[in-house]
Amino acid sequence: MTDHAMERIDLLIVGGGINGAGIARDAAGRGLSVLLVEQDDLASHTSSASTKLIHGGLRYLEYGEFRLVREALIERERLLGMAPHIIWPLSFVLPQTQSPRPAWMVRLGLFLYDHLGGREKLPGTRTVALEHSALGDGLSPRKGKAFVYSDCWVEDSRLVVLNAMDAAERGATIATRTQLVDARREGDGWVATIQTMGEAAGETRTVRARALVNAAGPWVADVIGRTRGARADRGVRLIKGSHIIVPRLYEGDHAFMLQNDDRRIVFAIPYEGKFTLVGTTDEPWTDAPAKAQIGAAETTYLLDTANRYFARKTGEADIVWSYAGIRPLYDDHSANASAVTRDYVLDLDTGAEGESRAPMLNIFGGKITTYRKLAEHAMRELARFFPAAGGAWTAGAVLPGGDIADADFDGFLRDLTARHRDLPPALLRRLARAYGTRVEAVLGQGDLGPDLGGGLHTAEVDYLVKTEWARTAEDILYRRSKLGLHVPPETPERLAAYLAGQGVA
């Protein structure tokens, strides 16, 4: 391909996790031409392996991360209004019976937590006596007091997809199963070679970009290594976090924050109706980045924590699913993995000292809650290279499907159920939660097509392939949804066959 024919774009983003998708959305909305490449599926690694929370990070106060907590608390309420179908309030019960911290210290932390971020929508902290409250049901022993505070739940992988959808609708190109092979500075821009993965592996093309954003998460150092002339004086520290899913340990829609003697905390959260999610761990990851799995010691740690707090005992044989992810944290040289900063660092590389060449922005750290603000900060770093670009715009701008009147999901669901009385209420609720006001694009004219199992109809599969970049059964059953926990054993094979028949898988 000649340079004249080479595709030219403003911004090449490497990485289809929450940070890459968020930056693509922000940049496209400012009028920039954007190409995002992701070597696997959207949210296929860290961004689908979180504890599924939009939260300020109560425990980060203990490490003096006041700026991060304040920013996260402000973002918590913004995001709640941007996507009320996939984000909703969640109450957390923090028992003091087995706490290694004195009650006054915990209550002081919660006071700060209630007031640092200008809370408006969520209720403040209250104190309950566990033996006299339904919130104590299932605990053993059920005694003493607990503090009850609020954060939010999020469907993490869907949050990534919705950002990518919004970016695409604003003109960005989202290329999944596509890898950056190499990149080099040439003049005032970048010349990058990208390669399609999977069945089409080997197909390569070259693009010219004015700026390069490295949002590759655990692979951030790997991308720097493929970029000739890039500065590599920032370090990334990889920390593995793992979770287990077990049959419900208690009744109720609230979650628990469980404190351990080692001062680490573990969440127990209602999950997919029938289950409890227990996590997370913090373990150093010293190998090359890869698909992570829970280790035996992590499994034991999470089970021991659950069994110390709940009357309903559970063992390894009860685990119905587990998942693990690698957090790409900025290396602040903390000795304790749990104490490594969750704050993000944006490293703008414009060449050697005294030079001003094509910019490369490397993203270190970050968390789901602050992704929108991180994207805004990233665009601020790049602003001088794009003087004609628009200004910040994403604060409060709803995500696809999030334009629900007054953010009233229950009212939206009632109206949807009234319009589709012929469909099962449980199916409508799941679809409404997944797609919000975009649900009619799935329901179409009422013919959902064959049921591949567990209420997964071919019309929904077609929508996910056409609109959300889904390509495999795993994409659909464990990232676009969590139907993999509910469908009969034959569904994955039936789904894979259907996708192959559509020329997708």
Instruction: Give the pLDDT means over successive 10-residue stretches in the chain (505 positions).
Output: 71 98 98 98 97 92 88 94 97 93 92 90 95 95 94 98 98 97 93 84 89 96 87 80 98 96 95 97 92 96 97 97 93 60 85 73 93 98 96 97 96 97 96 98 89 97 98 98 97 97 76
| pTM of this structure | 0.95
- Among residues 371, 329, 298, 356, the alpha carbon closest in space to that of 22 is found at 371
- What local confidence, expressed as pLDDT, does residue 450 receive? 96
Measured between alpha carbons, how far is 258 from 238 in angstroms, rounded to an integer? 24
- What local confidence, expressed as pLDDT, does residue 356 receive? 66
In Å, what is the CA distance from 94 to each residue of 30, 86, 98, 265, 381?
42, 24, 10, 10, 39
417-420, Cβ contacts within 8 angstroms, sequence gap of 24 or more: 420/446
Query: Running DSSP on this structure, what letter comes out for residue 479?
Result: I
Contact by Cβ (8 Å): 219, 327: no
Contact by Cβ (8 Å): 468, 504: no
Q: Which helix (H) or strand (E) holds 300?
A: helix 296-309
Contact by Cβ (8 Å): 436, 82: no
Angle CA(277)–CA(463)–CA(195) in degrees, nearest 5? 85
Measured between alpha carbons, how far is 348 from 88 in angstroms, rounded to an integer? 35
Residue 80 CB contacts under 8 Å (≥ 6 apart), including other chains: 54, 87, 88, 89, 121, 122, 152, 407
Token pair listed for 285: 């990851």
Measured between alpha carbons, how far is 434 from 437 in angstroms, rounded to an integer? 10
- What local confidence, expressed as pLDDT, does residue 235 receive? 74
Distance of CA 271 to the CA centre of its chain: 16
The length of the chain is 505
- What local confidence, expressed as pLDDT, does residue 311 receive? 97
Contact by Cβ (8 Å): 436, 83: yes
- What local confidence, expressed as pLDDT, does residue 303 receive? 98
Residue 365 CB contacts under 8 Å (≥ 6 apart), including other chains: 328, 329, 330, 341, 342, 343, 344, 345
